Amino acid sequence: MITVAIVNVTSYTALELLRLLALHPDFVVTSVTGRSAVGRRLGDVFPQLYVQTAIDSSLVITEEAAPTALAFVCLPHAAAAVTVLQLLKNGTKVVDLSADFRLRDASTYEAWYKHSHPAPELLATTPYGLCERNREQIQYASLVANPGCYATASILALLPAFAAGVVHESVIIDAKSGASGAGRSPSLTTLYDEVNENINAYSLDGHRHLPEITQEVEAVAGTQARQLRLTFIPHLVPMTRGILATCYTDLKDKTWTTKRVQELYQTYYASEPFVHVVDQSPHTKWSYGSNTCFIHPFVDTRTQRLVVVSCLDNLVKGAAGQAVQNANMLFRLPETTGLTGLAVYP
Amino acid sequence: MITVAIVNVTSYTALELLRLLALHPDFVVTSVTGRSAVGRRLGDVFPQLYVQTAIDSSLVITEEAAPTALAFVCLPHAAAAVTVLQLLKNGTKVVDLSADFRLRDASTYEAWYKHSHPAPELLATTPYGLCERNREQIQYASLVANPGCYATASILALLPAFAAGVVHESVIIDAKSGASGAGRSPSLTTLYDEVNENINAYSLDGHRHLPEITQEVEAVAGTQARQLRLTFIPHLVPMTRGILATCYTDLKDKTWTTKRVQELYQTYYASEPFVHVVDQSPHTKWSYGSNTCFIHPFVDTRTQRLVVVSCLDNLVKGAAGQAVQNANMLFRLPETTGLTGLAVYP
Amino acid sequence: MITVAIVNVTSYTALELLRLLALHPDFVVTSVTGRSAVGRRLGDVFPQLYVQTAIDSSLVITEEAAPTALAFVCLPHAAAAVTVLQLLKNGTKVVDLSADFRLRDASTYEAWYKHSHPAPELLATTPYGLCERNREQIQYASLVANPGCYATASILALLPAFAAGVVHESVIIDAKSGASGAGRSPSLTTLYDEVNENINAYSLDGHRHLPEITQEVEAVAGTQARQLRLTFIPHLVPMTRGILATCYTDLKDKTWTTKRVQELYQTYYASEPFVHVVDQSPHTKWSYGSNTCFIHPFVDTRTQRLVVVSCLDNLVKGAAGQAVQNANMLFRLPETTGLTGLAVYP
Amino acid sequence: MITVAIVNVTSYTALELLRLLALHPDFVVTSVTGRSAVGRRLGDVFPQLYVQTAIDSSLVITEEAAPTALAFVCLPHAAAAVTVLQLLKNGTKVVDLSADFRLRDASTYEAWYKHSHPAPELLATTPYGLCERNREQIQYASLVANPGCYATASILALLPAFAAGVVHESVIIDAKSGASGAGRSPSLTTLYDEVNENINAYSLDGHRHLPEITQEVEAVAGTQARQLRLTFIPHLVPMTRGILATCYTDLKDKTWTTKRVQELYQTYYASEPFVHVVDQSPHTKWSYGSNTCFIHPFVDTRTQRLVVVSCLDNLVKGAAGQAVQNANMLFRLPETTGLTGLAVYP
């Protein structure tokens, strides 16, 4: 068994990691940290863990992680990088769920996150942990930067079209997310009465997942679209889990049909276990609790736009599930290990 | 008092009309029809009406409307037109909440609604009942075509920009709606368990509100944008009421700032009682139960796109409230009569 | 016009007062206070107020209330009493929405609220503001104690049976409430993700509305049930508004039928404008945004228990609406003034 | 591998069976039936199954089940019994999720289900499939009657108290359920807009799970409480999954404390893998998607009542999960096989 630490276990993402790891045959959680709950037992913070399972609910939450082979870091940015450096020094392999190692360029990081990067020397070599794109590098890495939830849905939706070079560089992503993406810290914005029966756009002056999307899509596009003209507007939807990204692009060639773009996408993702190209409009609920991303590309025939709708569970394929997928690869386990659960529906 | 009939009273739109008319000082509901409930009393169908109010809950539902000065027709398209013709013949003024008289062009109607129009001769002269645009004509009309809910949110968001000619003809509208827009007829699609904790896009091959939007925006744009290149994608959101439309356009001139477009919009709607231009991202919940449309235009500075977010209650400004607003104008009453209620929040 | 101050305007209850007072023909809000928002304008705190209405959204929030004829106090207990005393000294009539003046007995208050009462001398004479029971006293008072939301639903459900002396002193109230009763202060408990898709019981060791219910029901029961044996368990339900109280009692006489108890209840409330006895199971949604309490009594024939289901909107009849009803009586206005709005449905 | 048929696969319960069986190491689904979808593939009815999993989404839905070792019958009552008889004749072991074989007494069945029983001769010997009570019989049976969802939550809450004989025969169960218990057939009652932001009681004249509860609790109580005086009132709550039962009983002895009853309950369920006695008020969400029932007993010290709050996921421990638990026992597999998944939270 591979020993696992979860750093900042009191977050929703960490809780989801516990749920997934409970069914994982090779990973065993032996250390959990969390500054706000030091000395408490895991089952005291999350009573639903007091059941018979592979997760030991009597684990005591500590301030520092005990030595383990693998660590999942669920800290906020900046704090994450500092901890990651320490863990790497100890020889622990790390999946970092923060944004700290997602951007290749330290100045871009600093422009968006408003502080200097604690370990810029690692940026160039840390793989962006979207397995569907960077499978090779992840296998040989010690640290993986787990992608953002919005970024995962958006990049997966755009990759095949930009890799094939069939669309122009103008992209609009209108994204919708449930409230769990905002985390477990109480705020007026995420109060039940404010979220329920409401939808609103937010981060209108630029959401931090935008540079990730730009970086990865430009990389796959190569010289064809060096300068993505990307508008990304996220919306908060009254649901707990789920992200739906509706992506609008312009086809270079007017002869594309829905059938042909679906074939292009199906071919691109043919061997991917967690990406499914479907021929109807996908529902976020199809992915509730599962590691699947559903993608539906179609041509808006009146305007010859390529529209791609993608969806996933922001806490699974958008966070904890993808982190386990990355961890599987760090340890050369089959990529789907522990991740074959179906969506909880309805 | 002006006597009022409500045709097809068993719909959600009609129920909302009853709520609004209960506070209206000049209109009194004297006749209600509804094929599925003939012979039943209003309070039997909607028990919440069994309270002390201006609405008579003991009104018996009939098959045909009794003679009244005014009628609101809440029938589905095609059925609506036939009833409207009969009512007009009897000298009743009519607000038609269906789509039957919204499109000026019978062939466009037939292309979208898949049947021939029952009264094409009325199309040219029936005003499209968006008071903010067609106030003059409505006052002198006998019949008004109440706009669609998505169309109201979208057109109000786009009018100032196209009237001023500051954007190109390329438009993307990503719209989100609560479930009440789908009506009161049971279906798998609108079952609680299917809608709850889910979001999905629908009508990907073209929603019927698209031609309304095109018609009205092209009209205001004049020769500057005769051929709108419009993509309109609606989404179903797990909430009962509310529409949010996020509209993406391209500015012709790179010097526009958020401040300047907000001024443009504020000036355009300065005297409108039910349209409010705001300087922050609006929440659908701000309009829950009220006849207000909130609009927030801003410039996405990275791409020089003009993005406009608008929202309203699909059953009020998007249906029954706008219908009362139109009815007020048909009878030369102050436009806000009976419509000054604030949003129910939270 | 009667001038009105709202003390602690940043609460949900105060916001609901503003909505109701916007349609009130005799009250005009001229002063609003709120420690956390001193110096801000009303419309900055609640953007949905930036519309054309009788509420002046440019009112500046102050620390102390300006002199007015009437004040609604929306402060937490203890803080409320201190402010109430000051307002009364200034000759202002007061509706206190806190719990401070609801209990006749200072020692009961102190046992439940864990501090000594700031003005015990007022307890004996301040009417408990349930108009359906204390209409006479309220008209001659300067201060009214507005009842708790759960208490209103529960007492109205039990009054007719205890007034008639038809049930034993054993009562179980299983109450269910939406989240807005918990107020607008962020906490983990009322975070969207915690409330959504969940129900739980709380305050198992005794909810503070219990002594109110006991006090009022024992008073109406007289010597017949001097010692109520009352269990009251509240539950948090994933909705914003609404309280449903399911009340279980034992009939003294086995000959009672559902028909007879419904007649008893209908007679008891025959002249009440805001209490409606119905012959089917009521839905909280029937009262969404309205000042109505629906009550359905029936006999569980297998056990000869009298079960009474009552429901209301916790922010209207359970708080702000009832407060306006009380204020109407303080000023000898018709009791229904400003309160005739129908429920918002669906 | 043990071959499995699912009869009436288009129901929510069957879909949940598929989700659980996808992780089951010993059962393999080889046949699915469903009259409304004959000839369609499983993945066409439930697109979320089009993923890499142990469930074959290309299985074609048939009218009759193919021969298998095990069948789960998800038909409505009456129809279920007929199919069960046929399956038993073919040597298939059956878990029947309908109500047809839950009641020992045919006349009770007929009184509640309003038709004569198709196979009364099987009633006496078919075990009521609550493993926590009837583990022994289930192992030797060919047919198990899977308990109702409300019944499971209620009986588990009451068993320890009645087995120990510490409470009187008077019981009130106030139960709350999400909408998925009502199934997948569209109806006005379960429309999103009707369920959302609403709670109501239903089946006031007697819910069909009442006789099950009576039967099982009376059996465990023996001569001490031969005549249960049981009131059972279910409520519909705006959530998809989850049942919470709040059970009120009267302690015979006034010396019981919360601590002692919790010990009594903990001892009773000490070796049960799926029943957890907790020392705080449980949340239905703790069991979302898992086979766990949480139980919290406490003494209401003011009235010396024993109140027991229990909760579970109505589709898992209340239906499909318990069915798998029963099937494990029919085949002498470890009882928890395939059922160790944690709750999906938040």
The pLDDT of B254-283, averaged and rounded, is 97
B186/D191 touch (CB, cutoff 8 Å), yes or no: yes
- C167: Cα separation from own chain's centroid: 25
CA pair distance D75, B217, nearest whole angstrom:
53
Signed CA dihedral, B251, B255, B260, B262: sign only: positive
> Which helix (H) or strand (E) covers residue C136, if one does?
helix C131-139
Band of residue B154 on the pLDDT scale cut at 50, 70, 90: very high
**How far away is chain A from the Cα of C325, in angstroms, using its nearest Cα?**
25
Interface probe, candidates C10, C13, C196, C197, chain A, greatest A C-beta count within 10 A: C196
- Residues with Cβ within 8 Å of residue C260, at least 6 apart in sequence: none
φ/ψ of C3, rounded to 5, equals -80, 145
| Contact with chain C for residue B235, Cβ under 8 A | no
Confirm if D96 and D84 have CB atoms less than 8 A apart: yes
- Taking contacts as CB-CB distances below 8 angstroms, the residues of chain D near A46 are 345
A48/D285 touch (CB, cutoff 8 Å), yes or no: yes
- Residues with Cβ within 8 Å of residue A270, at least 6 apart in sequence: none
- Which of D188, D196, D238 comes nearest B186 by C-beta? D188
CA pair distance A177, C277, nearest whole angstrom:
43
Work out the number of other CB atoms within 10 angstroms of the CB of residue C254.
8
D73 residue type, one letter: V
Residue C225 has pLDDT above 60, yes or no: no
CA pair distance C159, B177, nearest whole angstrom:
43
Structure confidence at residue C224 (pLDDT):
58
The percent of residues in chain B predicted with pLDDT above 70, rounded, is 99
Q: How far apart are the first and last CA of chain C?
A: 34
Please report the residues numbered 261 through 290 in chain B whose beta carbons come closer than 8 angstroms to any beta carbon of chain A.
281-285, 288
> Minimal Cα distance from B18: which residue of C?
C342
The beta-carbon contacts of D109-116 under 8 Å, at least 24 apart in sequence, are: D112/D206, D112/D208, D112/D210, D112/D211, D113/D77, D113/D78, D113/D208, D115/D78
**No. of helices (H) and no. of strands (E), chain A:** 10, 12
| Contact with chain C for residue A193, Cβ under 8 A | yes
| Contact with chain C for residue D197, Cβ under 8 A | yes
C336/B52 touch (CB, cutoff 8 Å), yes or no: yes
Query: CA-based angle B331:B334:B339, to the nearest 5?
Result: 105
A308 residue type, one letter: V
- Residues with Cβ within 8 Å of residue B46, at least 6 apart in sequence: B15, B18, B57, C345
C201/D172 touch (CB, cutoff 8 Å), yes or no: no
pLDDT tens track, chain A, 346 positions? 999 999 999 999 999 999 999 999 999 999 999 999 999 999 999 999 988 788 999 999 999 999 999 999 999 999 999 999 999 999 999 999 999 999 999 999 999 999 999 999 999 999 999 999 999 999 999 999 999 999 999 999 999 999 999 999 999 999 999 999 999 999 999 999 999 999 999 999 999 999 999 999 999 998 655 689 999 999 999 999 999 999 999 999 999 999 999 999 999 999 999 999 999 999 999 999 999 999 999 999 999 999 999 999 999 999 999 999 999 999 999 999 999 999 999 9
Structure confidence at residue B224 (pLDDT):
58
CA pair distance B333, B337, nearest whole angstrom:
7
* CB-defined contacts B:C, below 8 A: 107
Three-state SS at D88: helix
Band of residue B51 on the pLDDT scale cut at 50, 70, 90: confident
D244/C201 touch (CB, cutoff 8 Å), yes or no: yes
B31 residue type, one letter: S
> Minimal Cα distance from A283: which residue of D?
D48
Distances (CA, A) of B31 to A123, A172, B42, B67, C45: 72, 49, 10, 8, 43
- Taking contacts as CB-CB distances below 8 angstroms, the residues of chain B near C22 are 340-342
Chains contacting chain B through 3 or more C-beta pairs under 8 A: A, C, D
Is D293 noted as a catalytic residue in this protein?
no
CA pair distance A195, A178, nearest whole angstrom:
9
**How far away is chain D from the Cα of A289, in angstroms, using its nearest Cα?**
7
- Taking contacts as CB-CB distances below 8 angstroms, the residues of chain A near B248 are 172, 174, 231, 248
D239/C193 touch (CB, cutoff 8 Å), yes or no: no
| Contact with chain C for residue D209, Cβ under 8 A | no
Q: Does the model's ipTM exceed the 0.95 cut?
A: yes
Signed CA dihedral, C299, D169, C215, C236: sign only: negative
Confirm if C294 and C286 have CB atoms less than 8 A apart: yes
D217-260 tens-digit pLDDT: 999 998 655 689 999 999 999 999 999 999 999 999 999 999 99
**How far away is chain D from the Cα of B186, in angstroms, using its nearest Cα?**
5
Confirm if D262 and D276 have CB atoms less than 8 A apart: no
Chains contacting chain A through 3 or more C-beta pairs under 8 A: B, C, D
Min mean pLDDT across A186-190, A191-195, C226-230, D282-286 is at: C226-230
- Taking contacts as CB-CB distances below 8 angstroms, the residues of chain B near C29 are none
Confirm if D282 and D293 have CB atoms less than 8 A apart: no
- The token duo for B153 is 């949110």
φ/ψ of D271, rounded to 5, equals -100, 10
CA pair distance A213, A152, nearest whole angstrom:
8
D132-165 tens-digit pLDDT: 999 999 999 999 999 999 999 999 999 999 999 9
**Which stretches of A166-277 are assigned E, i.e. beta strand?**
167-177, 200-201, 229-236, 243-251, 275-277
B248/A248 touch (CB, cutoff 8 Å), yes or no: yes
The pTM (predicted TM-score) of the whole model is 0.98
Q: How many residues does chain B have?
A: 346
Band of residue B47 on the pLDDT scale cut at 50, 70, 90: very high
- D148: Cα separation from own chain's centroid: 4
Please report the residues numbered 305 through 344 in chain D whose beta carbons come closer than 8 angstroms to any beta carbon of chain C.
305, 307, 309, 311
- The token duo for D61 is 């839905």
- State the DSSP code for A189: G
Which residue is associated with the tokens 């005549």?
A: D227
| Contact with chain C for residue D239, Cβ under 8 A | yes
> Which residues of C are catalytically annotated?
149
Band of residue B52 on the pLDDT scale cut at 50, 70, 90: confident
Structure confidence at residue D129 (pLDDT):
98
The burial of C168, by beta-carbon neighbours within 10 Å (0-12 exposed, 13-18 middle, 19 or more buried), is given as middle
Of B245, B264, B270, the closest CA to residue B167 belongs to B264
Signed CA dihedral, C100, C104, C106, C109: sign only: negative
> Which helix (H) or strand (E) covers residue B230, if one does?
strand B229-236
- State the DSSP code for C328: H
Alpha carbons within 13 A on the beta-carbon side of C28: 8
**How far away is chain D from the Cα of A18, in angstroms, using its nearest Cα?**
9
C10-65 tens-digit pLDDT: 999 999 999 999 999 999 999 999 999 999 999 999 999 988 788 999 999 999 99
Residue C331 has pLDDT above 60, yes or no: yes
Work out the number of other CB atoms within 10 angstroms of the CB of residue D183.
16
CA pair distance B26, B3, nearest whole angstrom:
9
- B250: Cα separation from own chain's centroid: 26
Helix pair B321-330, B131-139: axis angle to 10 deg: 30
Band of residue B70 on the pLDDT scale cut at 50, 70, 90: very high
The DSSP bridge partners found for residue C5 are C31, C71
CA pair distance A298, A306, nearest whole angstrom:
6
Phi-psi region of B288 (alpha: psi -120 to 50; beta: other; left: phi over 0): beta
Confirm if B319 and B139 have CB atoms less than 8 A apart: no
| Contact with chain C for residue B47, Cβ under 8 A | yes
- Taking contacts as CB-CB distances below 8 angstroms, the residues of chain A near C193 are 12, 179-180, 184, 190, 240
Confirm if C178 and C243 have CB atoms less than 8 A apart: yes
B200-241 tens-digit pLDDT: 999 999 999 999 999 999 999 986 556 899 999 999 999 999
Of C188, C230, A320, the closest CA to residue D283 belongs to C188
D14-70 tens-digit pLDDT: 999 999 999 999 999 999 999 999 999 999 999 999 887 889 999 999 999 999 999
Q: How do beta strands B27-32 and B2-7 pair?
A: parallel
Confirm if B216 and B155 have CB atoms less than 8 A apart: yes
Chains contacting chain C through 3 or more C-beta pairs under 8 A: A, B, D
Residue B246 has pLDDT above 70, yes or no: yes
**How far away is chain A from the Cα of B220, in angstroms, using its nearest Cα?**
21
- The token duo for C163 is 């007034």
CA pair distance C316, C333, nearest whole angstrom:
19
